[in-house]
Amino acid sequence: MSDEQRALWVLSSPVCSEYNHAMEDFNKRAFSTSVQHKEMSGARMKRDQDDLAKIKGKLELCSPFSADPTLRNIITGVVAQDSVNVDEYQKVGRHFIDKMEGQQVFTYASKLKDKVKTLGDSCSVKVSPGRSIDQALLFQRLIVISNAGDFFRGGSRVRT
């Protein structure tokens, strides 16, 4: 398309638009588009309302906005042990950096006791007084078993 053709097309657009509107009025027809945004559909708005009701119900059961100062998981309600200090991460980090000052970077070895302890670090499933199972390991084993389910559906049994 040459520059002259492009200029003619651009300058004729408003005139063509007026002709288009005049023809629509004359024929009593109009071009319109439907709502294009999928978030505005009735089904999506209903699903959003249902999701909000679920969140509200869960927050009423396990409110993170209570006056209780203990740390807890808002989903399960598990209360953190005294060793959990993730809420003091800045203080722990500052202490960690203070211990590193004056030492060479590649010779410094951090200790596990200087690490921030989270709720996940302190949780384990108690099996008996002398034993416990790591939750992450238990979850990984369950995933492996569920993925291997197709292999064992032929009637043979899994031995543990």
What is the pTM (predicted TM-score) of this model? 0.35
Q: How far apart are the first and last CA of the chain?
A: 75
Count of C-beta atoms within a 10 Å radius of residue 80: 19
Task: Give the 3-state secondary structure of residue 127.
Answer: strand
Q: Give yes or no for a contact between 134 and 124, defined as CB atoms under 8 angstroms apart.
A: yes
What string of pLDDT tens digits covers the 160 residues of the chain? Answer: 788 888 888 888 888 888 888 888 888 887 776 666 777 778 888 999 999 999 888 888 767 677 777 777 766 767 778 888 888 889 988 988 888 888 887 888 888 778 888 877 765 555 556 666 677 777 788 888 777 665 555 545 545 4
The tally of CA atoms less than 13 A away on the side-chain side of residue 132 is: 9
The label of the residue with tokens 């063509």 reads 16
Q: Give yes or no for a contact between 71 and 64, defined as CB atoms under 8 angstroms apart.
A: no
The Cα 69–Cα 82 span in angstroms is 12
pLDDT given at position 53: 92
Count of C-beta atoms within a 10 Å radius of residue 84: 20
